[in-house]
Amino acid sequence: MKPGKFLLLIYISLTLMIVPGCWSRRELNSLSISQAIAVDLEPDGKIVLTFLFVKPDSGQKQMGGGSGSGMSYVLVSEKGETLFDTQRDIYLSLPRKLFMGQNSLVIYSEQAARAGLGPLMDLFFRHKDFRLTNYVFVTRGKASDMLKFQPNLESNPVREIFGAITYAHMRVSKTIPKDIKDFLIDLGAPGIEPVLPEIELVPKLAGEELPQSGSSGGGGPSQKTKLRLAGMAVFKEDKFVDWLSPDETRALHFAVAMGHLGIEIIPGPSDKKLAVEIIGGTSKIKPIVKNGRLFIRIESTSAANIGETMGVKGIDNPDLINELNKETENVIRERIEKLVKKAQKEYRSDFMGFGSAIWREMPQYWKEIENEWDELFTEIPVEVVVKVDIKGIGMASDYSNER
Amino acid sequence: MFIPIWEILMLGKICVDGEMMKNFWSRFKKKTYLSFSLEENLQIMRRILFNCMDVVYREFYIDRYIRAVLVYAEGLADKALINSDILKSLMLQSQDKKLTGSLVDAVKTIILPFAEVKNVTEIEKIINSVLSGDSILLIENCDQALIIGTRGWEHRAITEPSTETVIRGPREAYVESLQVNLALLRRKIKSSELKFEKLIVGRYTKTDVVIAYINGLADPEIVKEVKRRIQKIDIDGILESNYLEELIDDNPYSIFPTIKHTERPDTTAGLLLEGRVAVFVDGTPFVLSMPNLFTSYMQSPEDYYERYYISSFIRLLRFMALNISLLLPAAYIAVTTFHPEMLPTVLLLSLAGQREGVPFPALIEVLLMEIIFEILREAGVRLPKAVGQTVSIVGALVIGEAAVSAGIVSPAMVIIVALTGIANFVMPAYNAAGAVRLLRFLMIILASVLGLFGVMFGLMLVQGHLASLRTFGVPYLSPIAPISIEDQKDVWIRGPWWTMQIRPRFFNNLNQKRQKVKRKDK
Amino acid sequence: MPLEKGKISGKQLTVLYITTIVASAVVFLPGVVAAKAQQDAWISSIIAAITGFFLALLVLRLHSRFPEQNVIQYSRTILGKWPGLITGAGFAWFFIHINAVIIREFGAFLATVLPETPPVVFMALIVLLSAYYVRNGLEVCCRIAEFYFPIFVLQVVVIVLLVVKEVRWQLFEPILGAGWGPVIEGIFPPVMWFGEVITMSMILPYLHDKSQAARSLFLGVLLAGILFFLASFFTIGVFGGDLTANLNFPVFELARTISIAQFLERVDAVLMSFWVAGGVIKITTFNYCAVLGTAQLLNLSDYKPIILPLAVIQVFMALTGWENVGQLKYFINDIIAPYSLILFEGGIPLMLLVIARIRRLGVTK
């Protein structure tokens, strides 16, 4: 064969390839880019999907002048039997191709979570556009309502939530961000139940409301509420059980080492309060067998700084620091113990992963108890050991005008 | 059996040419040698050089009574030299000299103060010499003539290279004269091992072609192969070195050039020192060198004259530019129309916003802009310098800006196309950059059909082609594939000179050592 | 007259071997292994690599006995005319068949990434490309492998570096929780991959420097083992045993989790194209073995005329051999292992070696 003939063959195959058309092609301006999906379950078992689509900026703001007035996103809802079916039905009212590759949030309503998230998450796990790194939230009311608040700084609610989750986790630790992958891992692993963060809208405080410029009431997003990311939803298998308060979420943080961060308020001398900033640490859940009896020990070790003294004096005194260490340890320990009790007696859900700790440390033993673990869990004794070490006191020693 | 029509035509053309050649030669084949009669000789010459008004026959008498004719071509021969040295010596200063023995030898040895004087008897040689600018002295009753080296036509002065400019480094470039070019090279390499072998190619043009190599460094097999291929050429004329380049190419179907050309003597010298072979063609400032590897398109002579940090950085930059130039539009198409999930959300929204209202699909948009860019570029090259500037400004600024604000193309596309075009100029070799320019379109089409898979398919096709190329027996992609670890120092980066202790291994060098001692020993 | 005039270096052999093994192993294997061994999949991968050494040793022993012959030729030398011919035909069939599996695998993989395009397009293009490489000879195939090898290794390393911060060490525990049973069960699929070293028995005769054969092949097994170990280790570290087992293309999914500074995201499409490059090289290796073997069986003087027919046959087999992805997965996990491993990758070579020893055939030191 001459090289010319071979090139001809390649040429023919190229032509054959091009002639039938461009299969998977989609122009950018024919896409509707979804950023968030809210999943609601109606009482009759139908699924309601709400997509938040971002409208692309038309790029020529300087020229048009008046493009700031409209919203840069739209919400589209559809009702159906399954997620995929509902997602396809969106096309009945959508002029563009649905594109979920940039989706970053999935919000489930409490009803949906109660019915079990496994089936409702399958699409996101299977669809090739969807990323496993989508953040998942559960909300008390309707999930679609969560996308209907007026964003403060960002251009749409999703970016607002996305920004908030980073700092709510790192700086306050009253929530734990979870993505689809985390949820699926917890669901699949033995001896641990998943948790998901809660999202809610709360009324704005009086000071926050700005005077309204125009009468943009109508069907626009509510101006009176704001976003709040605090607390967690506890699951048993893939079914919702109950909520954790923000404080309990902090306890969970300290128990399972999601992050030792945030502010602790502790009672100081003479009825004054101090704020201690936890700056990091580790914790470990250890199953221990002593005298033939199994018990769990939660070891939590943190480092901290004094953040605010609120009038407490002598803060550079080592004795006082030692005392504060003790106080902080007490606060944290009490909180963890309370959470453990609640988990065992009230929720009966092993979301802290005691079982999986046993599985990891003594897999043979786990095999024996695996079947009756649900019962065993509620009975198992738990010992909480907390260690806090205050390292720094900030940029000043004492309050100057209280000398 | 199927014979293409053009081959029939070609065959016919060769027959016609052969016939013409036969007629041409037969006209004077009977009288190949000079006779004793000056008249007869002149008659033969006049017949052969019929209608050649630039040939001058100057009759005069040596020593007052020996009749002689000086034949030269006006403009090719140096007239001042003829006046002052030939005619003056022969006509005025020959009386007191004693002419003994053969007259021709006497003239040659006693009268003519010239370095280059040769006896000839064949008429063909005489004609060739006249047409090359030498002067011929025909003397009555002599069956020999003298060729006197008076070549002295006007040639361009040595200037700065126009296509391969450098910031640091020699600023001389080859000119159209072979002698000057050889001298330029000889001035760089003064070794007796630098060999020049002369061949003549072209039935009508009789172009001088010189093969240059360093004996002991160049692989004798390659030298022999180059010579064999050049000798096999039978063509009417060689006007530029590209004629030769395409005729002796290993891979005539390939889009990639496997022979390098340069107009810088220092580049040629560097290549010869690596053991390569250079081919000079008279009449063009572009000198060929072979074997040529793909990586040499990423090398500029300046790399070796700057500090190696800068050179290495710039070389990496060039590889980046190569990729941008080949793949950027294709990657843009593939990512935006097949894999939008790859883009950061904000960027995706901004790009999508720019595409709102653009009437064409991204493929058409890209092709449109690429072709407009190529037209502008070609216009910039062809137009006179002053106008060229205006055209590029009008083209780039006005058309680009207007197209964007009219909503015909998106601003991002203008950026992509402009970046691609500029990146293409970063490649030091124009001909390789041209190959990349063409392949870019293939990539764009593949990307618009199959996304990144298509781009990868195209790349693998091109790489398969590159890997199958050989240039004078050397794999084209060496030293990358087949890999040679030692040679990597001059591929992706330019290693410091003190690390280049051996010559590149990809040629079968006879002499590997470039340096004797390591720097740290000093 | 030799069918192949090219000569390759030891480095090229190493690179070709690694690319051939790792190209599809990294894409498909971690999930397959994790399905059996759960979070201990990485232990299985180490054992599999060690077993790979023995399979490579088998091929090398045969090679050192018959340095100028490939497996199809020496099976004839060892077993005599007709049995040898049948065995040789078996090997040619094996190469063609395995190649059809690989082609289908990559077709299925690409079809999930670009679902609207008919998979036959991908299969045809990939096979056409590999046919082009084979047509250009062994040297060109090796050069292509050499060219893509650094990219290929680099991408595995880059994925690993980018996901290191996502790794949760507890996911590896408990180590050997269910004992050695599942771990041993999990080594069979990867051993089959390592057993593809039998393709190298077709290529070893063209090695330029015969003394490098053992070194370069063992180096190849070592590096391939490391790459495969990295892939399974980090998929387990990020997804845990259970999720990895349920993902069809775990490393692909791993690449999807990469997110650096909100800029570098979803590099999976880029990886997909690199894997395609690796896949093409793998298919080229098998294609080359199939073409060379068939040409030798048919006593042809040139293998070029049968390249395209074989390519068409392979695509046809890939298209019609399995009705759906489920069947393909079942076939790979449960049928192909005994078929290829016991018969062609381990069994017959071992038998050949034993008979050669008994009959004292070939070069003996």
The proportion of chain B whose per-residue pLDDT surpasses 90, expressed as a percent, equals 12
Q: Please report whether residue B105 resides in a domain.
A: yes
A181 → closest Cβ in C112, C125, C239? C239
The pLDDT tens digits of the residues spanning B157-169 come to 888 888 888 888 8
Q: Please report whether residue B486 resides in a domain.
A: no
User: Domain count of chain C?
Assistant: 1
Cβ pair A314, A320 in contact under 8 A: yes
Query: Within 13 Å of residue A54, how many CA atoms lie on the same side as its CB?
Result: 29
In C173-202, the residues whose Cβ lies within 8 Å of chain A are 173-174, 176-178
Cβ pair B161, B264 in contact under 8 A: yes
B345 touches chain A (CB under 8 A): yes
**Cα–Cα distance for residue pair B235/C49, rounded to 1 Å:** 62
B27 to B49, B204, B235, B317: CA distances (angstroms) = 11, 16, 21, 62
| Same domain assignment for residues B454 and B311 | yes
Confidence class for position A331, pLDDT limits 50, 70, 90:
confident
Residue B460 Cα, gap to closest chain C Cα (Å): 7
Confidence at residue B5, expressed as pLDDT on a 0 to 100 scale: 52
Given a cut of 50, whether residue B299 has pLDDT beyond it is yes
What is the extent of the structural domain holding C170?
A: 10-337
**Cα–Cα distance for residue pair B322/B428, rounded to 1 Å:** 10
Given a cut of 90, whether residue B287 has pLDDT beyond it is yes
Mean pLDDT within C39-52 = 86
Which residues contact residue B1 at a Cβ distance below 8 angstroms, ignoring those fewer than 6 apart?
Answer: none
Q: Please report whether residue C346 resides in a domain.
A: no
Residue A21 Cα, gap to closest chain B Cα (Å): 7
Neighbours of chain B (3+ CB pairs under 8 A): A, C
Given a cut of 50, whether residue A69 has pLDDT beyond it is no
B464 → closest Cβ in C12, C136, C276? C136
The pLDDT tens digits of the residues spanning A1-27 come to 456 676 777 677 666 666 555 566 778
Given a cut of 60, whether residue A66 has pLDDT beyond it is no
Count of pairs with CB atoms under 8 A, one residue in B, one in C: 88
| CB contact (8 A) between residue C116 and residue A362 | no
B353 → closest Cβ in A24, A26, A57? A57
The pLDDT tens digits of the residues spanning B400-438 come to 788 888 888 888 888 898 899 888 888 888 888 888 989
| CB contact (8 A) between residue A56 and residue B353 | yes
Of A63-77, A90-104, B207-221, minimum mean pLDDT range? A63-77
A102 → closest Cβ in B348, B356, B362? B348
Count the helices and strands in chain B (H runs, E runs): 17, 12
| CB contact (8 A) between residue A18 and residue B352 | no
| CB contact (8 A) between residue B361 and residue A27 | yes
Boundary (domain end) residue, out of B474, B491, B506: B474
Q: Please report whether residue B154 resides in a domain.
A: no
Q: Please report whether residue C364 resides in a domain.
A: no
User: Quick count: other Cβ atoms within 10 Å of Cβ B449?
Assistant: 26
Given a cut of 80, whether residue A196 has pLDDT beyond it is yes
| CB contact (8 A) between residue C144 and residue B463 | yes
| CB contact (8 A) between residue A185 and residue C266 | no
Count of pairs with CB atoms under 8 A, one residue in A, one in C: 68
Mean pLDDT is highest, among A96-105, B27-36, C169-178, C243-252, for: A96-105
Phi, psi (deg, nearest 5) at residue B201: -125, 145
Boundary (domain end) residue, out of B434, B458, B474: B474
Residue of C nearest to A361 (CA): C174
Confidence at residue B97, expressed as pLDDT on a 0 to 100 scale: 67
Phi, psi (deg, nearest 5) at residue C96: -65, -45
Cβ pair C362, C354 in contact under 8 A: no
In C302-361, the residues whose Cβ lies within 8 Å of chain A are 304-305
Looking at per-residue pLDDT, the higher value among B341 and A108 belongs to A108
Cβ pair B36, B142 in contact under 8 A: yes
Residue C105 Cα, gap to closest chain B Cα (Å): 15
B316 to B322, B436, C85, C87: CA distances (angstroms) = 10, 17, 53, 52
**Residues paired with B61 in a beta bridge:** B67
Average pLDDT, chain C: 84
Mean pLDDT within B388-393 = 74
Show residues of chain B in contact with A63, CB under 8 Å.
405
Residue type at position A157: P
Mean pLDDT within B177-189 = 89
Residue A383 Cα, gap to closest chain C Cα (Å): 21
Confidence at residue A216, expressed as pLDDT on a 0 to 100 scale: 46
For chain A, give every residue range classified as CATH 3.30.300.210: 257-403
Q: Options 3.40.640.10, 3.40.50.1820, 3.30.300.210, 3.40.50.880; which CATH number does A257-403 get?
A: 3.30.300.210
DSSP, collapsed to helix, strand or coil, labels residue A301 as strand
B352 touches chain A (CB under 8 A): yes
Beta strands A73-80 and A135-139 are unpaired
Confidence at residue B325, expressed as pLDDT on a 0 to 100 scale: 92
Q: Please report whether residue C37 resides in a domain.
A: yes
User: Domain count of chain B?
Assistant: 3
Residue A64 Cα, gap to closest chain C Cα (Å): 29
Given a cut of 70, whether residue B7 has pLDDT beyond it is no
| Same domain assignment for residues B359 and B445 | yes
Given a cut of 90, whether residue B280 has pLDDT beyond it is yes
| Same domain assignment for residues B263 and B332 | no
Confidence at residue A290, expressed as pLDDT on a 0 to 100 scale: 82
Mean pLDDT within C60-66 = 87
Cβ pair B361, B402 in contact under 8 A: no
Q: Please report whether residue B298 resides in a domain.
A: no
CATH number, domain at C99?
Answer: 1.20.1740.10
A1 → closest Cβ in C116, C176, C304? C304
- Residue with the two structure tokens 């990311």: A229
Looking at per-residue pLDDT, the higher value among B278 and A346 belongs to B278
Confidence class for position A209, pLDDT limits 50, 70, 90:
low
Q: Please report whether residue B497 resides in a domain.
A: no
Residue of B nearest to A129 (CA): B341
Confidence at residue A132, expressed as pLDDT on a 0 to 100 scale: 81
The pLDDT tens digits of the residues spanning C167-198 come to 877 777 777 777 788 888 888 888 888 888 88
Given a cut of 90, whether residue C41 has pLDDT beyond it is no
Count of pairs with CB atoms under 8 A, one residue in A, one in B: 85
Boundary (domain end) residue, out of B292, B320, B342: B292
Mean pLDDT within A16-40 = 76
The pLDDT tens digits of the residues spanning A238-290 come to 888 888 888 888 888 888 866 667 787 887 777 778 888 888 888 888 888 88
| CB contact (8 A) between residue C147 and residue B342 | no
> B218-247 in b/e burial notation, b at 16+ Cβ within 10 A?
bbeebbebbbebbeeeeeeebeebbbbbeb
Residue of B nearest to C255 (CA): B342
Mean pLDDT within A218-222 = 52
The pLDDT tens digits of the residues spanning A110-159 come to 888 888 888 888 888 888 778 888 889 999 888 888 888 877 777 788 88
| Same domain assignment for residues B228 and B195 | yes
Cis ω for the linkage preceding B291 (within 30 of 0): yes
> C219-235 in b/e burial notation, b at 16+ Cβ within 10 A?
bbbbbbbbbbbbbbbbb
Query: Three-state SS string across B335-352, please?
Result: HHHCCHHHCCHHHHHHHH
**Cα–Cα distance for residue pair B462/B323, rounded to 1 Å:** 13
A contact test, residue of B348, B358, B470 with most A CBs within 10 A: B348
Confidence at residue B141, expressed as pLDDT on a 0 to 100 scale: 84
| CB contact (8 A) between residue C174 and residue A185 | no
Show residues of chain A in contact with B345, CB under 8 Å.
33, 35, 54, 102, 104
Q: Please report whether residue C41 resides in a domain.
A: yes
Given a cut of 90, whether residue B328 has pLDDT beyond it is yes
Confidence at residue C260, expressed as pLDDT on a 0 to 100 scale: 67
Confidence at residue A20, expressed as pLDDT on a 0 to 100 scale: 56
| Same domain assignment for residues B316 and B462 | yes
Q: Please report whether residue C362 resides in a domain.
A: no
Q: Please report whether residue C353 resides in a domain.
A: no
Cβ pair A229, A199 in contact under 8 A: yes
| Same domain assignment for residues B123 and B266 | no
Average pLDDT, chain A: 80
What is the extent of the structural domain holding B125?
A: 27-148
Mean pLDDT within B86-106 = 76
Handedness of CA C245, C248, C254, C259 (dihedral sign): negative
Q: What is the length of chain C?
A: 365
